[in-house]
Amino acid sequence: MTLFANHSQFIKQEAYKLGFDYCGIAKAEYLNEDAKRLEQWLNKGFNGSMHYMENYFDLRVDPQKIVPGAKSVITVLKNYYPSQQQNINTPKISKYAWGKDYHEVIKQKLNELTHLMKQELGNIHGRGFVDSAPVLERAWANKSGLGWIGRNGNLITKQSGSYFFIATLIVDIELKYDDAFAKDYCGSCSKCIDHCPTEAILPNKVIDGSKCISYFTIELKDELLPQNMKGKFDNWMFGCDVCMDVCPWNRFATPNTELSFTPIPEILNLTTDEWLSLKEDMFKEIFRHSPLKRSKWKGIQRNLKFIQS
């Protein structure tokens, strides 16, 4: 086994010990095809008011612009599929937001992995990213052999579906690289397209982000939500899981074992009236470590009133 292969094996072993479910490694190179797709997507305005996606275009498609001298992109996946369910009378919240903020949980694990790599492999330089920097995580996950991009735009693993957080670690050392995941197992299935409440999923794996319920309930900061979306949210208060819930591959999803992702009881149980009567100070206290703080109390109240009106 070569030195590069030994190093790759060590990284994967440590990633699994830290609680990551999958780990793949790709060569750090310019994402030519993804650059074209991203440019077309932005030109069509599918990012809506998410203008930050227009920034740092070069960094998104070239890892060497993010980490000078980058040679490898390590991608890890962390399962967040819950064992519990929300009470039938509660406003719907995307499963990824039921527990502690994944940014905090995964960033800590990435830092630990980087520390272990430096101890074992020497003075390497690298940066870890968890949905907080201009990195095309799903493209790198595909190039690392972890799965394919489904019609709903999500990375799908053949073994366990798509309820995973994706994180990347870009480093300046050469490693043994995995083969890209070349097949597409969506076949002729169009369930995600057919069931999307706002028709945000277009053909050819294109998502109109400006129509997505997650966009409206999390990203859009306007005081009022658009009237043409009335009655289309299907009681989703924060995010939306419809395209994953109907995906046949998620029949293989298994409950996560991460204690930090244990659902906050209020998310599972509060009724709409109880949410509406929740004061801002209590919201801040209960959800101080939750992804829900991204929408803030004011945004949650706006969403609730919209889906109830």
Q: Give yes or no for residue 85 having a pLDDT over 60.
A: yes
pLDDT band at 133 (very low <50, low <70, confident <90, very high): low
Please tell me the total count of domains within the chain.
1
Catalytic residue among 34, 62, 131, 172: 131
The pLDDT score that the predictor gives to residue 45 is 79
Note the residue count of the chain: 309
pLDDT band at 39 (very low <50, low <70, confident <90, very high): confident
Domain that holds residue 217: 1-309
DSSP for residue 2: -
> What backbone phi and psi angles, to 5 degrees, belong to 129?
-135, 135
* 131 is annotated as an active-site residue: yes
The pLDDT score that the predictor gives to residue 203 is 86
Cβ 55 vs Cβ 134: under 8 Å: yes
| CB contact set of 75 (below 8 Å; sequence gap of 6+) | 22, 23, 24, 25, 26, 137, 140, 141, 144, 146, 166, 167, 168, 169
Largest pairwise CA distance in the chain? 64
Comparing CA positions, the residue from 147, 120, 165 lying closest to residue 256 is 165
Instruction: Please give the C-alpha separations between residue 141 and each of 167, 223, 234, in angstroms, as whole numbers.
Output: 9, 36, 31
Write out the two tokens for 298. 């004011």
More confident residue, 34 or 289: 289
Instruction: Please give the C-alpha separations between residue 123 and each of 13, 86, 108, in angstroms, as whole numbers.
Output: 20, 46, 20
Q: What is the mean pLDDT of residues 105-130?
A: 94
